[in-house]
Amino acid sequence: MPPYEEYIEMIKPLWDSHRLTNMGKYHVQLEQELKAFLDVPEVSLMVNGHMALEMTIQAMSFPPGAEVITTPFTFISTTHAILRNQLKPIFCDIKESDCTIDETKIESLITERTVAIVPVHVYGNICNVEAIGRIAQKYNLKIIYDAAHAFGETYKGIGIGNFGDASVFSFHASKVFHTIEGGAVCFKERKLFEDLYNLKNFGIRGEELVVSVGANAKMNEFSAVMGLCNLKYFQEEVTKRKKLAKVYLDFFAKQEGITVKNFSCSDVVYNYGYLPVVVEDMFGRGRDELYNHLKMNRIYARKYFYPLTSEQACFKNKYKRMKLPVAQYISSHILALPLHGELAKENLERIICTMKLET
Ligand SMILES: *Cc1c(COP(=O)(O)O)cnc(C)c1O
């Protein structure tokens, strides 16, 4: 949370203006500040990351039933956004090294029905944007990056929102930068800004004018203020997390049977959103035993992401035939450990001590 007084001070004028939503003053200001902060040509704010993703895909006007190559190792939102647009997700396996989509396996999945690639910068690990860009160009495909985990990151000095046709961020309360609920789309083309504007505001373009069949996905002023306040403290939050992450990393460097799954690319400036580890054998415990052991000690790690989205109950066994050995392995061994700016050093030490306790 930002300092309470700063937030209250900024929302006070709303009691006079009564302008609580519909692209108000703070909405405009946050869009401008994010454009500069993320160093991208265009930003469109949204009510949440999921709607940002769903509407970006919708704005591309793909024919119903077309195929979209994506990763199953993600939050369910990525897969739902494709399906809710009447498109067909084609799941591609991931890389063991950083859990992002395996770009070497994309081409064999392309058919004449393929229209787009939706990769995820999972845990803030950046996909192979160069290779994916080349494939998209060769086959004339759109690329929409789910960058929900990668806010504020850079790759080779370039803001992460600059890759592909669009990049989508989530500003959910659980993310490194948040607006309570919220999200944004970054892109180059001004036309996409207009299309997204219509999609998020019923297609309304005047008191008596509706130009398209849009939905409602606007960010309100209270969320925009939360964003403006949090943006000032983003770097401080990242620095705190980086220090804590180093304690984990130093500990795991000496341990066998447990591998940290991010922070390994020297071209990336990370935001330290997550601390994912693959647990093979941690003092006799596998992933599930370690998860339960920590839970019994009131330490709440997350099996993030398990199960794979392709194996969720809602899809029954529909995608069972797809070969995803690496994703399956990672998913059944992954654990995201507690990491946030306010995590006290003593508590971090307690987490590490608890992991070391024999059964
Ligand atoms: C959080 C998240 C989303 C969805 O964002 P919301 O703001 O919660 O709607 C989508 N994809 C990924 C990878 C996420 O982590």
Render pLDDT for 131-140 as a digit per residue (tens, 0 to 9): 999 999 999 9
Q: Which atom of ligand 1 is nearest to the CA of 50?
A: 9
Q: Label residue 321 by pLDDT band (50, 70, 90).
A: confident
Residue pLDDT, tens place only, 59-86: 999 999 999 999 999 999 999 999 999 9
Residue 285: pLDDT band with limits 50, 70, 90: very high
Confidence bin at 357 (pLDDT 50/70/90): confident
In angstroms, what is the span from residue 18 Cα to ligand 1's centroid? 30
Give the pLDDT of residue 124. Answer: 98
Atom of ligand 1 nearest to the CA of 181: 7
CA of 280 to the centre of ligand 1 (A): 28
Kindly give the number of the ligand 1 atom that is closest to the alpha carbon of 51.
Answer: 9
Q: Quick one: pLDDT at residue 359?
A: 64
Residue 322 has a pLDDT of: 87
What pLDDT shows up at residue 320? 85
pLDDT greater than 90 at residue 197: yes
Q: For a pocket test of ligand 1, which of 46, 57, 75, 127 has the largest count of ligand atoms closer than 8 A to its C-beta?
A: 75
* 34-53: pLDDT as tens digits: 999 999 999 999 999 999 99
Q: What are phi and psi of 253, to 5 degrees?
A: -60, -30
Distance 77 CA to ligand 1 centre (A): 6
89-143 tens-digit pLDDT: 999 999 999 999 999 999 999 999 999 999 999 999 999 999 999 999 999 999 9
- Residue 221 Cα to ligand 1 midpoint, Å, equals 21
At 277, is the pLDDT very low, low, confident or very high (cuts 50, 70, 90)?
very high
What's the distance, CA 324 to chain centroid?
21
Ligand 1 centroid to Cα of residue 208, in Å, is 35
In whole angstroms, give the CA distance from residue 190 to residue 210. Answer: 20
Ligand 1 closest atom vs CA 183: 7
The Å distance, Cα 167 to ligand 1 centre, comes to 12
**CB neighbours (10 Å) of residue 84?**
14
Cβ contacts of 263 within 8 Å, gap of 6 or more: 245, 249, 270, 272
pLDDT exceeds 70 at position 55: yes
Instruction: Name the residue with tokens 């505001």.
Output: 201
Pocket of ligand 1 from Cβ distances under 6 Å: 48-50, 74-75, 77-78, 120, 146, 148-149, 170, 172, 183
Q: What integer pLDDT is reported at residue 358 of this predicted model?
A: 75
pLDDT range class, residue 309, cuts 50, 70, 90: very high
Distance 179 CA to ligand 1 centre (A): 13
Position 112 scores a pLDDT of: 98
Handedness of CA 338, 80, 144, 140 (dihedral sign): positive
> Across residues 234-243, what is the average pLDDT?
98
Residue nearest to atom 2 of ligand 1 (CA): 148
Bridge pairing between strands 67-70 and 142-146? unpaired
The token pair that represents 72 in the structure block? 């199953």
Q: Closest ligand 1 atom to the C-alpha of 182?
A: 7
- What are the tokens at 142? 């759109």
Mean pLDDT of 315-337: 95
pLDDT the model gives residue 85 = 98
Nearest atom, ligand 1, residue 52 CA: 9
Output the CA 331–ligand 1 centroid distance in Å: 18
